[in-house]
Structure 1
């Protein structure tokens, strides 16, 4: 009988103090994907996933992430596509919170392409490289031409036309203001 009670006590303590807990399933929204490079979004964090061609194991996938603070995703897209028009003389270096990313431009078969080079944890020893991507592939990754690009584009604020502003000011000036009653001030004794 003691052995049975001891067995139940051990079973109960194992289940009560288990080290596995169930976490929420994090949902990533895919912005765009081309071959082995993809852009994903979760809340305000954007993540690039790519197959690392710098390793001998072709099943190695790497990623780098950053927050879209001031339209950084739009600025990154513009930076990349501007490099297709006017190829920089060297690599463009970007510092992220955890990694350093270089944009390496090269012409392949006469067509400008870009490659992401990632220095993992800002360490020059650990390097990941994506495949070379052309402008059409970059557009697909950033969701250009689809409704998914609206997930990161800056909201365009339209200025109020000058004619409407002055008309509103004239209308306000013509409206008579109602005077407020004056409140008497109390004299203080010293």
Structure 2
């Protein structure tokens, strides 16, 4: 009888810890995607996902994220597209909060292309590389082809809008830059 009670107690204990918990569904908004490279938005965070061609396993997908603080998404797009016009002599190095990204330009079949090279966790040992992208593919990824580039500056929630309107410092804050005094990026 003790063994039966002990068996039921163990089974009840296991079933308590194995319950399924439903998590809140955080929605990602796809800005644009072409082949294995895509740009996604979640609140004010933007993520670029890509298939890592630097690994032998072709099912390896990597990503890097950043916030759109001062129009960084538009700035990144302009930086990439300017590289198609005037190809830089060396890679353009960008430091993100968690990673280092290099924009590597190369001509493939006479057409300028760009490749993302990611140093994961700012460590030169762990490198991910995207496919080479043409100007048309970059336009598609950044939502210029489908009109989703308008989502760059849209606020995340209505709560944030109401909080900004009711804030007493909102009316005394300096006006936002209209883009005429942007700093040159190297």
**Cα offset for 1:20?**
6.2
Offset at residue 18 of structure 1 (A): 4.0
Residue of structure 2 equivalent to 1:98: 98
SS in 2 for 1:73: helix
> Shift in Å at residue 56 of structure 1?
1.5
CA distance in 2, matches of 1:58, 1:152: 30
Alpha carbons of structure 1 residues 19 and 123: separation in structure 2 relative to 1, 3 Å: farther
Q: Deviations over 1:43-70 (max 9, x none)?
A: 1111111111111221111111111112
Gaps of 5+ in 2: 156-175, 179-186
TM-score (norm 2): 0.77
Unaligned stretches of 5+ residues in structure 1 = 160-190
1:146 aligns with 2:143: no
Query: How many positions carry a matched residue from both structures?
Result: 158
1:43 corresponds in structure 2 to 43
Match of 1:113 in 2: 113
CA RMSD of aligned residues (A): 2.3
Question: Secondary structure, in 3 states, of the residue corresponding to 1:24?
Answer: coil
In structure 2, the residue matched to 1:84 is: 84
Aligned equivalents of 1:140, 1:115: Cα separation in 2: 15
Distance 2:112 2:147 in 1: 26
Query: TM-score under structure 1 normalisation?
Result: 0.76
- 1:33 aligns with 33
Judge conservation of contact 1:92–1:104 (CA < 8 Å) in 2. Answer: yes
| Structure 1 stretch displaced more, 5-14 or 94-103 | 5-14
Tell me what 1:182 maps to.
none
When Rg is computed on C-alpha atoms for both structures, the one with the higher figure is 1
Contact 1:38/1:48 (8 A) holds in 2: yes
Distance 1:154 1:22 in 2: 28
